[in-house]
Amino acid sequence: VYGKASFITFIFITILTISYLFMIGTVDFRSHFSPFLQSHPSNWVPPCRSLSPLRVYMYDIPRRFNVGMLRRGDSDESPVTEENLPPWPRSSGLRKQHSVEYWMMASLLYNSNHSDSKKGDELGMMEAIRVFDPEIADVFFVPFFSSLSFNVYGHNMTDPVTERDKQLQVDILKFLRESKYWQRSGG
């Protein structure tokens, strides 16, 4: 009797769960079968990709605004290049959640030095490329690791160290506001 009741309860909960997932849309059968349902012409471009990569102008700013936060005591003020970009720390713990800025910067640094060696097809497959002429840029990227700054310097908002996070924000805004392109567009 208990085995039969347990089995029926299990089946009921399973059906209920599947129905719930289907109703809220987290189970999408179309994505599993779409390659079989649709055929695209050979020159078809997915809606999330354009025919040309996004042209990104990346500001060259001192390392204290980005990779300088990865290692305490890094006082080098020169901008980051592909040659001096430190590897992402293996034991970064919770800092991994702030690594998007690092990887975006690293991708732009790497692609800027290798984009002229890429063929047209390969270049078209890139989502973004770094440009050195702000006049032709689609977007501007400021490689300031703001969330990492807060977690390195500002975790306890009453610490004197918190002033370092605030000062970095003030300094980067001052730098940007003096930029011709910031002034032209108001940010």
For 139-159, the pLDDT digits (tens) are 999 999 888 888 777 766 666
| Residue (of 143, 115, 167) closest to 57 by Cα position | 143
Task: Tell me if 145 is assigned to some domain.
Answer: yes
Residue 95 located in a structural domain: yes
Q: DSSP of 68-97, one letter per residue?
A: GGTSTT----SBP-TTTPPPPPTT-GGGGG
If asked whether residues 161 and 72 sit together in one domain, one would say yes
Instruction: Report the candidate in 150, 104, 163 with the shortest Cα–Cα distance to residue 130.
Output: 104
Based on DSSP, count helices (H) and strands (E) in the chain, helices before strands: 7, 3
- Whether residue 27 is contained in a domain is answered as yes
Asked whether residue 76 is domain-assigned, the answer is yes
* Same domain flag for 27 and 91: no
Are both 29 and 63 inside the same structural domain? no
Q: Does the pLDDT of residue 174 top 70, yes or no?
A: yes
* Shared-domain flag, residues 94 and 166: yes
Same domain, 33 and 82: no
Place of tokens 């300088």: 68
pTM: predicted TM-score of the whole model, two decimal places:
0.65
**129 in any annotated domain:** yes
Positions of E strands within 93-169 = 128-131, 139-141
Q: Are residues 110 and 176 in the same domain?
A: yes
Task: Write down the pLDDT at residue 58.
Answer: 95
Residue 82 lies in a domain: yes
> Would you give the DSSP letter of residue 62?
B
3-state helix, strand, coil in the chain (%, to 5): 55, 5, 40
Q: Are residues 13 and 66 in the same domain?
A: no
Q: Is residue 31 located within the same domain as residue 71?
A: no
Identify whether residues 68 and 144 lie together within a single domain: yes
Domain span holding position 61: 54-185
Is residue 7 over pLDDT 90? no
Tokens representing residue 51 in the block: 């025919």
Domain count, the chain: 2
Per-residue b or e along 10-35, where b marks 16 or more CB atoms closer than 10 Å to that residue's CB: eeeeeeeeeeeeeeeeeeeeeeeeee
- What is the C-alpha separation between 187 and 179, in angstroms, rounded? 9
Residue 44 placed within a domain: no
Tell me, yes or no, whether 76 and 26 share the same domain: no
Q: Which of 143, 152, 142, 146 is nearest to 92 (CA)?
A: 152
In a domain, 45, yes or no: no
Whether residues 29 and 85 fall in one domain: no
Residue 42: predicted pLDDT: 63
Q: Tell me: do 29 and 116 sit in the same domain.
A: no
pLDDT exceeds 90 at position 40: no
- Residue 98: band (very low, low, confident or very high) from pLDDT cuts 50, 70, 90: confident
